[in-house]
Amino acid sequence: MLWNFLIFILMMLSLSNCSSSETNAFLSGVLDRSLQGGATTLDDRSSGAFTNPAPNLNSLDFDLHEFGDENFEATFVDSGPLNPGLGPLFNNTSCVACHVGNGRGAPTIGSGILGSQLLVRVSIPAGIPEVPGGPGAVPGIGTQIQDHANVGSMPEATIQINYTENPGAYGDGTPFSLRSPSLVITPTGGPLPVDLMTSLRLPPPVFGLGLLEAIPEEVIENLADPSDSDGDGISGRTNHVWNPLTNQVELGRFGRKANTANLLLQAAGAYLEDMGVSNPVLLGGDLTPDISQQILDSTAFYTQTLAVPKAILLFDPQVIMGEALFKQINCSVCHVQQLMTGPSDISASLSFQVIFPYTDMLLHDMGTGLADDRPDFEATGTEWRTPPLWGIGATDIVLGSQATYLHDGRARSLEEAILWHDGEALQAKEAFRTFTLEEREAILAFLRSL
């Protein structure tokens, strides 16, 4: 551990392209927050910013990461000699087709050239959960609508998104408009239940996830304040979800509502639900899996060992001002800036890293405007897990004109994403809304530096 720490210090000193003042700042105890992923950080702000292997992987881990990369990019087809097993029902045909450049997906659904990168989760209150404690499944559909199918099969439904514009204004009178989505689901089978609950989901970025997985459970539990005992108006709860591998309830970490315990299960679920590709963890009714355990493991490993892009402009006055305001208005209470990973049994590269993810991994009530009104394990219909903000500044270069934010891609800019905050984040949102233009731009400059 000491050796790891020494290497970490050396890397920070050299990677930071340091000036003497920067070095002094570090030596005086200020950790370099540009190294957002600790030693897994890499200085890349190109459109491939999220696609790099963590630079501290050993050769064995690097080879496994590369194999996982191939599998993450693999396009599945119905049958044939290469990558068979797609469907018959699915949302998209490869991991990377939705996680564009390993970032978030585009807010698209249907048969256009971008296909369905959004998906719709469904459940009914009286439905039978597919796993203990989970959402009630919709008979004949399950908990996710597959809106594509192999040739010769029918998808479960076609889905259309309509948007309503909601005008508003900043404190200085500058107008803005927020769009809220509504779904038109046309089933190909029988009618949908009248009490159907839906949740539109935009794929999240997949880099840095191994670090989040390596945060000790007690650290996350200690950040929780379910009864708001400190009276700051912000609570934060953990989700507890079923792990079919251990057959027990565990801390939920991943997914928009922290409804998945670990990345292996996340990958297994994506293969089965998003692509119709059965696997050794989730067979989905198949007698034999479409992919091997080796492929599943490598895909999960790929998402565990991607580099986190380095933050930029640390000493830019506007960014410094934005960071101060970010903390002043309590954004950082949920978007926790600094955490430390524990020992990782996935890769030594992930162990004991000081990271700057800007998440507490907790569920927060975000108000009725963002609510999907669809409980997911212990998460209520208004709760969402705090998304990490590291790398969010590279979203535009990765996704270009398709860059959107929040769980369903409704926010067309970072400003809109902030303005949608409500519930526990109402005070922070209002502070931003009533800031001067200079202050708002400083906050945005800080976010774009991450």
Which residues have a Cβ under 8 Å from the Cβ of 349 and sit 6 or more positions away? 39, 40, 54, 56, 57, 58, 61, 305
Q: How far is the CB of 121 from another protein (least distance, A)?
A: 22
Nearer to another protein, 45 or 327 (CB): 45
Q: How far is the CB of 397 from another protein (least distance, A)?
A: 5
Nearer to another protein, 234 or 346 (CB): 346
Q: Positive or negative CA dihedral for 39, 216, 224, 392?
A: positive
Q: How far is the CB of 406 from another protein (least distance, A)?
A: 18
CA angle 7, 12, 14 (to 5 degrees): 95
Nearer to another protein, 380 or 413 (CB): 413
- For residue 301, how far is the Cα from the chain centroid? 16
Q: Positive or negative CA dihedral for 370, 374, 380, 386?
A: negative
- For residue 182, how far is the Cα from the chain centroid? 22
- Beta strands 89-90 and 148-149, pairing class: antiparallel
Q: How far is the CB of 94 from another protein (least distance, A)?
A: 8
Q: How far is the CB of 2 from another protein (least distance, A)?
A: 20
Nearer to another protein, 261 or 445 (CB): 445
Q: How far is the CB of 377 from another protein (least distance, A)?
A: 32
Q: How far is the CB of 92 from another protein (least distance, A)?
A: 9
Identify the bridge partners of residue 403 per DSSP, sorted by sequence position: none
Nearer to another protein, 196 or 399 (CB): 399
Q: How far is the CB of 172 from another protein (least distance, A)?
A: 20
Checking 45-49 for CB contacts under 8 A at 24+ apart, the result is 45/309, 45/310, 45/312, 45/393, 45/394, 45/397, 46/397, 47/101, 47/397, 47/398, 48/101, 49/101, 49/309, 49/391, 49/394, 49/397, 49/398
Nearer to another protein, 239 or 402 (CB): 402
Which residues have a Cβ under 8 Å from the Cβ of 161 and sit 6 or more positions away? 107, 109, 118, 181, 182, 183, 184, 200
Nearer to another protein, 155 or 387 (CB): 155
Nearer to another protein, 56 or 238 (CB): 56
Q: How far is the CB of 106 from another protein (least distance, A)?
A: 7
Tokens for 194, please give them.
């009248």
> Residue 260 corresponds to which amino acid?
T
Euclidean distance between CA atoms 382 and 184, whole angstroms:
21
Nearer to another protein, 5 or 232 (CB): 5
CA angle 413, 36, 4 (to 5 degrees): 165
Euclidean distance between CA atoms 205 and 404, whole angstroms:
12
Q: Which residues bind another protein (CB under 8 A)?
A: 11, 13-23, 42-48, 51-53, 55-57, 59, 62, 69, 73, 75, 77-83, 86, 93, 97, 100-101, 106, 111-115, 148, 150-152, 307, 312-313, 396-402, 448
| 3 state DSSP class of 441 | helix
